[in-house]
Structure 1
């Protein structure tokens, strides 16, 4: 399954084609979550080769992935600020 990016799906983040499974999400499960690629494939209902393809993309395009991570963190912080400090009703 090739890696694909579309602006209208996952905000343009690279993903496994035909799914909404982002490369970053696969990498988080394997790298950060210390989960085996085989277990991730089983959990996401994709092939093991899809998981390895996502990981290969993740490592080959680490700058691009970090930019998406920063953008998501910024958006999360903005929402958190608005949620924790709602504007006063006028």
Structure 2
């Protein structure tokens, strides 16, 4: 399935700073902005204000996320794999309870 482009969002394969879609001219990823709104329950307006973005960019990120579910699933899996790899490499562990 082809990626559906959304104005203001740079796809991961076209990015020089991320390997995942992000807001053009910003380091904020689509995945991060979606998490702020949908997982944390912040309003798009408060996310835009908090990260000094136009409100339209937050909505563009949400639009991109929902129009490209296969790509975003791949991005999320890759993110989770990297977290697991980093945890395997570290010698730091939380104290025993």
Considering the TM-score relative to the shorter chain, is it more than 0.5? yes
Which contiguous aligned blocks of 4+ residues in structure 1 show a shift greater than 3 angstroms?
none
Partner residue, 1:43? 50
User: Structure 2 CA distance, aligned partners of 1:36 and 1:56?
Assistant: 15
1:55 maps to 2:62? yes
- Answer 1 or 2: which has greater helix percent: 1
User: Structure 1 CA distance, aligned partners of 2:90 and 2:83?
Assistant: 10
Q: Which runs of 5+ in 2 are unaligned?
A: 1-6, 93-97
Q: Which runs of 5+ in 1 are unaligned?
A: 86-90
Query: Residues 27-56 of structure 1: CA distance to partner in whole angstroms, max 9, x if unpaired?
Result: 000001110000000011001111111101
Greater RCO (Cα-Cα under 8 Å, separation 6 or more): 2
Q: RMSD of aligned C-alpha atoms?
A: 1.5
TM-score computed with the length of structure 2 as normaliser: 0.79
